Amino acid sequence: MKKVLAIGILSLAMFSCKTSTNTKNDVPTQIKLKGEWTLTNVNYPSGYKVTSFNVADAKCFEGSQWKFVSNNNSGTVTLNNSSSNCPQYNSKIIWNIKQDTSFNLKFIGDDKAKHITTGYNLTVSNITDNNFELIDNSTETTIVYSFVKNNK
């Protein structure tokens, strides 16, 4: 009986001392993104044609409006580039930031997030009260999306 009790206590001690994982949300960083932002620049090497988020040419996203709601990780994206080559586009989004600075993004439109199986994994970088960048390393070239906070 003492052996079983000792093994139980030892097992409990081992599992309670497990190291933490980096999959938790980074709430302070998410709160910094709360509000309305303008995507001011999409930067990538010349010679590439980039379609951002399977929506439109990357340059069509310049000037787009992004709203991030931090308490429920939702928001909206609106493309409003006046170029004739750019579509009018508006979508609801779901997003979060993990402690390892990964930024996960889903364009959900009018669907429920649980019905959308595709999304984008980017890296959030250079966060200040008025600026931040999203970096996409998922293609053969690096794409940097630069944001500026809208003043109200």
CB 62 within 8 A of CB 40: yes
Residue 31: what residue type?
I
Domain count, the chain: 1
Task: Inform me whether the pLDDT recorded for 75 exceeds 70.
Answer: yes
Which residue, 110, 116, 108, 34, is CA-closest to 73? Answer: 34
pTM: 0.78
Could you report the per-residue pLDDT of 49-59, keeping only the tens digit for each?
Answer: 899 999 999 99
Q: Which structural domain range is residue 31 located in? A: 24-149
Can you give the pLDDT at residue 22?
45
44, part of any domain? yes
11 part of a folded domain: no
Query: Which residue pairs, CB below 8 angstroms and at least 24 apart, start in 99-108?
Result: 99/22, 99/23, 99/24, 99/25, 99/26, 100/22, 101/26, 101/29, 101/125, 103/134, 105/53, 107/53, 107/55, 107/77
> What are the backbone dihedrals phi and psi of residue 150, each rounded to the nearest 5 degrees, phi first?
-75, 135
Q: Note whether residue 8 is domain-resident.
A: no
From start to end of 3-88, where are the E strands?
35-43, 51-52, 56-57, 65-69, 74-79
Mean pLDDT of the chain: 84
- Domain assignment of residue 67, yes or no: yes
Domain contains 50: yes
Q: Classify residue 16: in a domain, yes or no.
A: no
Whether 17 shows a pLDDT value over 60: the answer reads: no
Please report whether residue 64 resides in a domain: yes
Q: What is the pLDDT of residue 100?
A: 82
Specify which of 5-9, 70-74, 128-132 reaches the highest per-range mean pLDDT: 128-132
3 assigned to some structural domain: no
Q: What pLDDT was estimated at residue 27?
A: 72
- How confident is the model at residue 18, as a pLDDT? 47
For residue 103, the domain's CATH number is 2.40.128.540
